[in-house]
């Protein structure tokens, strides 16, 4: 974790992690200074979506993270965290760690990883279609 994060606030984070032998990006929200008003919240915590639901872990227990940016609209972000906790069931295609973290940070539930996979799958389908249509010519 970058040592320069000392100011209280909420931060969007990313880390590389192994999932079933594949290196993937894992996203979370860092709370420095107990912005969420948690009991005994003196130490920085990471809120992240992992199967089966949203977790809250102390930063030092979660590995190395990279800061993607500070969340500037904290009241709205805290409200979005509370809404996300109400529907916290993990879903790879609709409620994964990136969906959760980007929703909290920006208000938009999106996954750039899934968008990239969809683009790749679409391009592969076009290549296969063109290759198969060329065989019949």
Q: Which residue has the higher pLDDT, 77 or 123?
A: 77
Task: Kindly list the domain boundaries of the chain, sorted by start residue.
Answer: 9-110
The pLDDT assigned to 93 comes to 80
Give dist(CA 29, CA 68) in Å, integer.
Answer: 10
In angstroms, the Cα distances linking 65 to 2, 13, 17, 28 are 8, 6, 10, 9
- Quote the CA–CA distance of 100 and 37 in Å, as a whole number: 20
pLDDT tens readout for residues 7-37: 999 999 999 988 788 888 999 999 999 999 9
């032998």: which residue's tokens?
21
Geometric angle at alpha carbon 69, from 66 and 75, rounded to 5°: 125
- Cα separation, 49 vs 27, in Å, equals 8
Confidence band (pLDDT; 50, 70, 90) for 87?
A: confident
pLDDT greater than 70 at residue 2: no
pLDDT in tens, 51-85: 898 999 999 999 999 999 999 999 999 999 999 99
């Amino acid at each position: 974790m970058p040592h320069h994060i000392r100011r209280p606030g909420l931060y969007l984070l990313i880390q590389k992690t192994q999932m079933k032998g594949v290196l993937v990006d894992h996203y979370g929200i860092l709370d420095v200074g107990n912005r969420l008003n948690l009991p005994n919240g003196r130490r920085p915590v990471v809120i992240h979506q992992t199967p089966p639901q949203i977790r809250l872990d102390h930063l030092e227990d979660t590995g190395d993270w990279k800061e993607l940016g500070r969340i500037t609209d904290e009241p709205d972000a805290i409200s979005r965290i509370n809404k996300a906790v109400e529907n916290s069931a993990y879903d790879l295609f609709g409620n994964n760690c990136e969906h959760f973290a980007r929703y909290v940070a920006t208000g938009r539930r999106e996954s750039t990883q899934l968008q990239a996979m969809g683009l790749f799958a679409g391009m592969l389908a076009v290549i296969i279609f063109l290759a198969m249509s060329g065989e019949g010519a």
